[in-house]
Chains A and B, each alone.
Chain A
Amino acid sequence: MSDLAALRADFEQSLVQARTAADLKAVRDRFLGRKTGLVTAVLKSLGSASPDERRVLGAAVNALKSDIEIQLAAREQAADAETFVSGVDVTMPGRVPAAGRRHPLTQVRERIEDIFAGMGYQILEGPELEDDWHNFEALNMPAEHPARDMQDTLYLSSPMPADDAGRRASLLRTHTSGMQIRYMEAHRPPVRLIAPGRVYRRDNFDATHTPMFTQVEGLVVDEGISLGDLKGTLQAFADRFFEATVKTRLRPSFFPYTEPSAELDVECQGCNGRGCPLCKHTGWIEVLGCGMVHPAVFEAVGYDSERYTGFAFGVGIERLALRLYGVDDIRMFYENDLRFLEQLAP
């Protein structure tokens, strides 16, 4: 008799779990199936029982069988009624309004913009066709400066018409740093800006280089701005960008327009600094170049380099996007394969 109680409990459990008409059919087959049904099997076994047993057990089994029939029928009827009452099959796929997605480089760019906007930075835009003064000369890279070799430049076949200051754009900007100059020429301190945009180098075209890429320039100028402020700002940026408290380090480096110059590394998020292929087993990932604005840059724009100090930084958006999305080939960002773009919502 306890077997029957267990069987009843098993059935009730199965019925609760059944969701669809197919589920109900499976429950029916399992308990009442003509050949393999569990209740059917018990009924068949009565033949070998003694007459007394047969009478007592028979009544109990038949009661169970009829309970199961009633409960199943009720559920089956309800399911039928729901499905067919209005002719709507709720299991068919929904009509999803078409939605495009922002390109991953846009997502990262806007993420960076939002972080700095939240820290009181204004966001500026500038021309991609640039003149020699803004791209090089004013940034402490006069003609023949060896640093010009660091950035193999794409030049226009003929310069554009002169602007209001009589300058003629002659090249594709190699960095967004020209925006520092453009802004400081027109405004007095304090300065607190970022300038995102496309930049161009006559570089290899491979898994880690494209001739066009995207940067976000940052510039802060005021009285009393120090390297400590640069560190604190970049740490805040890294924490917010990676949504974690990330370990960072500054490595001294060289850029003509900042001094001291440095590169910011963040601890590899893929291996927590233990070393992995993503970070080339160094435990660190290079994120951006930065430094204190070189006094020669202030002098080029007519700022008093004794009174004002400042810091600048340049973030490579592709490099951050590679890390953020786990992409291993930078060219994917420019192939615009829908199967790639649609993965990286929103």
Chain B
Amino acid sequence: MKLPIAWMRDFIDLPDGPETVAGRLASCGFAVDGIDGDVVDFDVTANRPDALSVYGLAREASAAFDQTLRAPRLAPDASGQAPLRVSIADAGCGRYALAVADVQVGPSPAWLADRLVAAGVRPINNIVDITNYVMVEMGQPMHAFDVARLAGPELHVRRARQAERLTTLDGIERTLDDAMLVIADRDRAVAVAGVMGGTSSEVSSATTRVAFESAWFLPATVRATGRRLGLKTEASARFERGADINAPVAALRRALALLTELGVGTLVGGISDVHPRAVEARVLTLRRRRLTAVLGSVLPDADVERLLSRLEFSIARSDDGWRVTVPSFRVDVSREIDLIEEVSRHWGLDRIPATFPALASVPRTSAPGVARGRLVRRTLCGAGVQEAVTFTFIDAAAAAPYLNGDAVTITNPLSEKFSVLRPSITASLYESLVYNRNRQAADVCPFETGSIFSATRGERQAVGWVLTGDRGSHWSGNAGPIAFTDTRGLAELVADALGTTITVSPADDLPWLVRGERAEVLIGARRAGWIGRLAHTTAVESPVYAGELELDALSEATAGSVRSMRSLPRFPAAVRDLSLLIDERLPAADVRGTIRSSAPSTLVAVREFDRYQGKGVPDGQVSLSIRLTFRHPDRTLTDAEVQQAVDATVDALARAHNAVLRGR
């Protein structure tokens, strides 16, 4: 709300300089968006329609500066009958006041036009300008009809008829419906109630008699009407938030006073005031004890009374505090806490001493996901993977490969790029990878923790990563390009950090990954994620490996964050290496399984340490080297025992897989 301070001085004596006024009101809750000469742009919060006016802010200043408020000059009370009949046929209108005047339409005097311009309102002609002037000054929206262009000496407040048409003052022909409230003459709608007038009865230079409307409309009705029309105006903004139901007649009298002051018109008949039901003032209790409890500070009674009086609340002392009558323009004040806010706002939040709340009971524990998230992030950072944070929503094309008809979509996305909630973190991470690749980064390995979504499985917590480039280059030797084993390694690392062990098994239902390089990650029999090489990575020339794990699936498999220790071995281990020639299509997991099932319990570790194809290895075969570690808990194993176990293992491998020891 742009407020010319000189205009405010009509109603209150203020210190010099707009900055002083701006600063003081800012500390009372009216943030200042800017100061331009004498005009201060106040950010009035949505709950304070009463402050969307010069007089309303003058009232605030009256409390802030402890100065007397002077009321605007009004025309004499002329209640009676306007020569135009008014009827209200809908509860969406709580009051309708009307005055008819004979007028000479022309330009406004400079002082008035200048004030409107300063307040951000475009001057049109003296009559329309008077209605706008009253709205800016008192906060009450008004409208002027050209009486000669109305059908019949009558106005009706009613619902629009279905498909009724009206061209509004902005020149747009609008189709109305019966959820909207209109002002109509005998034949048709002439204005959208509380939103905008129509061109058919617009005041023009030919106008000689006008009807000034000053009414009160139900906020929900105006909001619904405005929303259906996609139309927001200065008037509708005030009605939506709640206008003062007692303001309409005073606003009319203010307009008539301006008409007289400018010498451009005279009242015809009296002022009609139609209100279906009387509104009683709210009376609230403000307890001294409660005020102190909420603020943590004792405020002197005299200050409480002074501040509320300045804000035009009526107060009467009671045993434990005050009985406070709320003025009708304060639609935001409906209970005791609202009064406490009023007092604290003007007393000054800065004057309330800072204290620290006592911790009277044991703090409760945090959600397990917090520590888990930290552990996962630190583990991956420690492994050389960079944390990223990407948008949770992605475009439909990026999401499509991951989806199985179970997308969670946004009905009103900012753009198509942000229309689907990501089914996988890797979908949005891939975008980051491409972004960095396009900026000359060769090795790009980001990860992210966060939510993933599907319509069937809901929102889940996950960690995902995408990897491309080299494992690291150094003058002493290159570690080679990132491969499947790297993404698998990260899955193992994360699982281990969370205290669980994964198995990996080929899977054909992961269409976003390349065939032959895709696998599900299992904990027991339950799928906890996937790893593999991304398909459709045309934007990047090197292969992109990726993986994702669902964190709940991992942590549910873990007993707790504390692990108990196993005794360290007391006797030495015997280590034997086997180099086996096996069919190249035989999974290492099968070989390991055969070894595990055939070896004695003294076999404590099986580790693949080389996999080789090429010179010396027949076509279609692979040389797989495995290190077997044997140990007995209670004694040192003899060579013979170890050899026996190895022989048994080799025999079993030969039987099960036709495996042959290399070099034999």
Residues of A within 8 A of B (CB): 92-93, 95, 97-103, 105-106, 110, 113, 117, 119-125, 127-129, 144, 146-147, 149-150, 154-158, 160-161, 169, 172, 187, 190, 192-193, 198, 200, 202-203, 205, 210-212, 220, 222, 224-229, 231-233, 235-236, 249-254, 256, 259-263, 292, 294-295, 309, 333-339, 341-342
Contacts and interface: CB of A to CB of B under 8 A. Distances in A.
A222 B414 contact: no
A228 B385 contact: no
Nearest to A147: B46
B47 interface: yes
Contacts of A93: 475
Interface in B267-320: 293-297
Contacts of A335: 432, 435
Most chain-A Cβ atoms within 10 A of its Cβ — which of B29, B31, B48, B220? B29
B411 A337 contact: no
Nearest to A333: B389
B408 interface: yes
Given A125-B370, A158-B455, A198-B450, 20 more contacts: A92-B475, A100-B385, A124-B367, A127-B459, A144-B220, A147-B47, A155-B410, A192-B364, A210-B391, A226-B355, A227-B349, A228-B352, A232-B356, A249-B350, A254-B47, A259-B341, A335-B435, A336-B432, A338-B441, A342-B386
Interface string B401-415: 000000011111110
B354 A294 contact: no
Contacts of A203: 414
Interface string B379-396: 011111111111111000
Interface in B349-380: 349-350, 352-357, 359-361, 363-367, 369-370, 374, 377-378, 380
B337 interface: yes
B240 A100 contact: no
Which secondary structure dominates where chain A touches chain B?
mixed
Contacts of A129: 408, 421, 453, 458-459
B70 interface: no
Nearest to A99: B384
A231 B354 contact: yes
A226 B293 contact: yes
B451 interface: yes
Contacts of A146: 46-47, 219, 223, 240-241
A338 B441 CA distance: 8
B180 to A, nearest CB: 15
B545 interface: no
19 contacts: A99-B381, A101-B381, A121-B363, A125-B367, A128-B392, A144-B220, A155-B412, A192-B364, A193-B364, A200-B392, A227-B296, A227-B297, A228-B352, A229-B357, A254-B47, A259-B340, A334-B390, A337-B436, A337-B439
B412 A236 contact: no
Contacts of B338: 259
Nearest to A335: B435
A250 B355 contact: no
Contact of A227 (B295, B381, B432, B472): B295
Given A160-B408, A211-B391, A260-B349, A205 B414 contact: yes
Contact of B344 (A198, A256, A260, A263): A260
Contacts of B451: 128, 198
B293 A224 contact: yes
B349 A202 contact: no
Interface in B208-232: 219-220, 223
Contacts of B323: none
Given A205-B414, A232-B355, A254-B48, A160 B455 contact: yes
A192 B359 CA distance: 9
B567 interface: no
Nearest to A150: B46
A292 B363 contact: no
Contacts of B26: 251
B343 to A, nearest CB: 9
B7 interface: no
Given A259-B341, A309-B294, A334-B391, A220 B439 contact: no
Interface string B188-219: 00000000000000000000000000000001
Nearest to A189: B361
A201 to B, nearest CB: 9
Contact of B349 (A106, A122, A210, A251): A251
A245 to B, nearest CB: 13
B339 to A, nearest CB: 10
Interface string B460-492: 000000000001101110000000000000000
B356 A156 contact: no
A339 B440 CA distance: 10
B480 to A, nearest CB: 14
A157 B411 contact: yes
B408 A336 contact: no
Contact of A102 (B46, B363, B377): B377
Given A198-B450, A252-B29, A227 B352 contact: yes
Nearest to A261: B341
B65 interface: no
B405 to A, nearest CB: 13
A98 B240 contact: no
Contacts of B46: 146-147, 149-150, 254
B341 A260 contact: yes
A232 B354 contact: yes
Contact of A295 (B337, B381, B476): B337
B337 A294 contact: yes
B387 A103 contact: yes
Contacts of B48: 254
Contacts of A294: 337
B527 interface: no
A202 B471 CA distance: 40
A259 B337 contact: yes
A100 B409 contact: no
Contacts of B455: 158, 160
B262 to A, nearest CB: 35
A113 B369 CA distance: 13
B471 to A, nearest CB: 8
A337 B294 CA distance: 47
A157 B409 CA distance: 6
Contacts of B412: 154-155, 202
Contact of B356 (A95, A106, A198, A229): A229
Contacts of A155: 410-412
Contacts of B458: 129, 160-161
Contacts of B61: none
B28 interface: yes
A142 B413 CA distance: 23
Given A225-B357, A227-B294, A337-B439, A100 B383 contact: yes
B186 interface: no
B27 interface: yes
B359 to A, nearest CB: 5
A125 B391 contact: no
A100 B446 CA distance: 8
A102 B47 contact: no
Nearest to A158: B455
Contacts of A224: 293
Contact of B435 (A92, A292, A337): A337
Contacts of A98: 383-384, 471-472
Contacts of A337: 435-436, 439
B592 interface: no
Given A122-B363, A172-B410, A211 B384 contact: no
